[in-house]
Amino acid sequence: MDYLVRRLRAEDISQVVEIEREAFSPLWVSTPFKRELNNRYTCHLVVCPPDLETVEPEARSVPEASDSLLSRVARKARSLLGQSQDVVESPNSIAGYVSVWYQGDEAHITEIAVREDLRGQGLGELLLIGSLREALKYGSQVMTLEARVSNFIAQRLYEKYGFKHVGVRKAYYSDNREDAVIMTTSPIHSQEYRENFQQLQEAYQDRWREICIQG
């Protein structure tokens, strides 16, 4: 299935909170997504199937009297994407999300999660790519994050994208007092990092799907 990455919208929040609760401990302090929607120091991205608004943005300005035309445009968009109407209108269309804080020269990933039944399809990696692209656009120099010391799968993904272990936060996770490994990249604007990032994106497209990120 095709997926795209775009900015969080108000109507996405209930689904994102569901994913957050599924992925993290019940004791996890929930992110105030609604309050942070217009905060220029945060970036919340979601991954979801393409829909009419993202495929044909000009169609949003079609007057209500042209419903038949809008319907035809919608059907055409779905046909081009090889998707059914059920996919577009699914109540659980948000597959995952990533939250980033911008702090000085640093972009810090605070949360990244994918619905449990959709894991293993490259969606977490797609969110990571989206967050790195946004950090580059924002002007951040490095990207950082924490990961459970036991989460070797996540750590391998981050290492692939140039994150290195730089420290440990003791008893960081509230559910079981597990330590967190602190990981950070080398300067992401360096020629070496950007060339490697480009190669990783090409490899992702060869393995999974086209990278579609809505600005």
Asked if residue 107 lies in contact with residue 131, where contact means CB atoms within 8 angstroms, the answer is yes
Catalytic status, residue 173: no
Q: At what angle do helices 123-138 and 152-160 cross, to 10 degrees?
A: 40
Q: Which of 102, 158, 173, 193 is catalytic?
A: 158
DSSP letter assigned to residue 213: B
Catalytic status, residue 158: yes
Instruction: Look at residues 124, 202, 189, 134 and name the one whose alpha carbon lies nearest to residue 162.
Output: 189
Q: Which of 3, 146, 161, 193 is catalytic?
A: 146
What are the phi and psi torsion angles at 115 (to 5°)?
-50, 140
Q: How far apart are CA 123 and CA 121, in angstroms?
A: 6
Q: How far apart are CA 35 and CA 37, in angstroms?
A: 6
Provide the residue type at 177 as one letter.
R
Q: How far apart are CA 175 and CA 102, in angstroms?
A: 26
Helices (H), 31-108: 33-36, 52-55, 67-81, 85-88
Catalytic residues, by residue number, are: 146, 158
